[in-house]
């Protein structure tokens, strides 16, 4: 039995040290996320938190990666490509279409390496679906990263869920424990009021790793669990991202454009503080982990539970107005003005 219990400890410690170093580097090099019409912060914040996440994950998992099969190492390298792409975007602001194209390419690479969703009996169709779903996971976590601690905390809760679902010696358990510890270490500096943002490099890496864990659940070494358990755990960011695409298309704009109509933006605009929205989101994530665990053990039927969760979240999105056909940034000042009535640290 491998002592993988040390993974979250190593991930936590490395993330704390690396994130603190990233803050110092960002301040020295003036690498800040500046306030803007699609931002809720009012002063420049360092944006290199993804360096801490990547460092924690890599160092915590490295002892096992060196002895892992080649396809697992290949998957790890592909995840690093996503991190590097996000880091380049943090530093240079890459075109959205270019980033999406590379994300789809990495999704194809993961499918070829053995992490492929199987919805049909036609290989090329399944490979295409895998690439598209991979891009959805990556961008859903990126879209979730619009508020202090939201994406990082959600990923930590999801990591705990995958630990519960997977056998202790499986690849899923190993990487989920690394994810859990690393996110908790990053949260030391990312909780409101955040001292650093994880940036695209952090959020997209989290999304890519969560996709990997979702598909790896289906492998025999991880108990041959259905991949839909991972979709259930991450139902909130996935559905919020799909709402974003729908409302932007209905508004006649590009689904790659930005807005401030995600569920957390709307809750903030209604007068809830950042901390309260965070607690609600974390609690909802915990409920989804509990439901997925009960489904994994056969206590609840996965199909029925998934449909109920989907119906509840879609109905909640409609009630909040997340489907509203709004895409251009001209509507943002009204929402942002409401957000600014509450400081990010206020309870």
Domain assignments of the chain as residue spans, ordered by start: 6-339
Chain length of the chain: 347
Least confident of 118-132, 195-209, 227-241, 311-325: 311-325
Check whether 132 has a pLDDT greater than 80.
yes
Using an 8 Å Cβ cutoff, are 180 and 29 in contact?
no
- Closest C-alpha among 73, 72, 138 to residue 105: 138
The region of weakest confidence among 30-44, 50-64, 178-192, 260-274 is 30-44
DSSP letter (8 states) at residue 38: T
Q: Kindly tell me if the per-residue pLDDT of 344 is higher than 50.
A: no
pLDDT at residue 76 tops 90: yes
Q: Which two tokens stand for residue 194?
A: 């955040």
Residues 6+ apart with CB under 8 A from 95: none
Dihedral pair phi/psi, residue 270, rounded to 5° = -80, -5
Let me know: does 343 contact 283? Beta carbons within 8 Å. Answer: no
What pLDDT does 38 receive?
A: 56
Q: Lowest mean pLDDT: which of 162-166, 243-247, 341-345? A: 341-345
Instruction: Flag the least confident range among 97-111, 255-269, 285-299, 330-344.
Output: 330-344
Tokens of 58: 């890599």
Determine the distance from the C-alpha atom of residue 60 to the mean position of all C-alpha atoms in its chain, rounded to a whole number. 19
What's the pLDDT at 169?
A: 81
pTM higher than 0.85: yes
Inform me whether the pLDDT recorded for 342 exceeds 60.
Answer: no
Mean pLDDT, residues 42-67 taken together: 90
Using DSSP's 3-state secondary structure scheme, residue 45 falls into strand
Q: Identify the residue with better confidence: 29 or 280.
A: 280
CB 86 within 8 A of CB 204: yes
Q: How confident is the model at residue 47 (pLDDT cuts 50, 70, 90)?
A: confident
pLDDT band per the 50, 70, 90 thresholds, residue 331: very low
- Quick one: average pLDDT of 190-207? 95
User: Each residue of 149-174: pLDDT tens digit?
Assistant: 999 999 999 999 999 999 988 899 99
Backbone angles phi, psi at 2, to 5 degrees: -80, 140
Looking at residue 339, its pLDDT comes to: 34
Whole-number pLDDT of residue 253: 79
Instruction: Provide the pLDDT for residue 60.
Output: 95
- Average model confidence (pLDDT) across the chain: 88
Strand, helix or coil for residue 46: strand
């Amino acid at each position: 039995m491998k002592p993988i219990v040390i993974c979250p400890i190593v991930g936590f410690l490395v993330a704390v040290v690396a994130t603190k170093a990233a803050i110092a580097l960002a301040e020295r090099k003036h690498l800040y996320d500046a306030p803007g019409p699609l931002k809720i912060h009012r002063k420049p914040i360092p944006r290199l938190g993804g360096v801490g996440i990547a460092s924690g994950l890599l160092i915590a998992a490295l002892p096992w990666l060196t002895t892992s099969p080649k396809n697992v190492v290949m998957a790890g390298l592909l995840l690093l490509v996503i991190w590097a792409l996000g880091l380049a975007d943090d530093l240079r602001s890459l075109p959205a279409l270019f980033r999406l194209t590379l994300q789809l390419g990495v999704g194809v690479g993961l499918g070829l390496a053995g992490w492929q969703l199987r919805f049909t009996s036609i290989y090329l169709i399944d490979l295409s679906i895998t690439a598209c779903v991979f891009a959805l996971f990556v961008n859903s976590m990126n879209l979730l990263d619009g508020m202090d601690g939201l994406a990082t905390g959600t990923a930590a809760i999801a990591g705990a869920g995958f630990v519960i679902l997977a056998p202790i010696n499986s690849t899923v358990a190993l990487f989920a424990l690394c994810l859990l510890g690393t996110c908790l270490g990053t949260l030391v500096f990312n909780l409101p009021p955040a001292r650093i943002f994880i940036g695209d490099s952090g959020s997209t890496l989290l999304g890519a790793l969560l996709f990997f864990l979702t598909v790896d659940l289906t492998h025999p070494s991880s108990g041959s669990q259905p991949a839909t358990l991972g979709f259930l755990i991450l139902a909130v960011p996935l559905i919020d991202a799909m709402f974003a695409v729908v409302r932007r298309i209905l508004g006649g704009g590009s689904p790659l454009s930005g807005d401030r109509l995600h569920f957390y933006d709307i809750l903030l605009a209604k007068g809830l503080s950042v901390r309260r929205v965070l607690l609600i989101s974390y609690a909802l994530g915990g409920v989804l982990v509990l439901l997925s665990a009960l489904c994994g053990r056969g206590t609840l039927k996965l199909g029925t539970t998934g449909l109920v969760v989907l119906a509840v979240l879609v109905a909640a999105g409609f009630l909040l107005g997340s489907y509203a056909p709004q895409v251009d940034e001209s509507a943002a000042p009204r929402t942002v003005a409401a957000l600014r009535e509450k400081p990010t640290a206020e309870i």
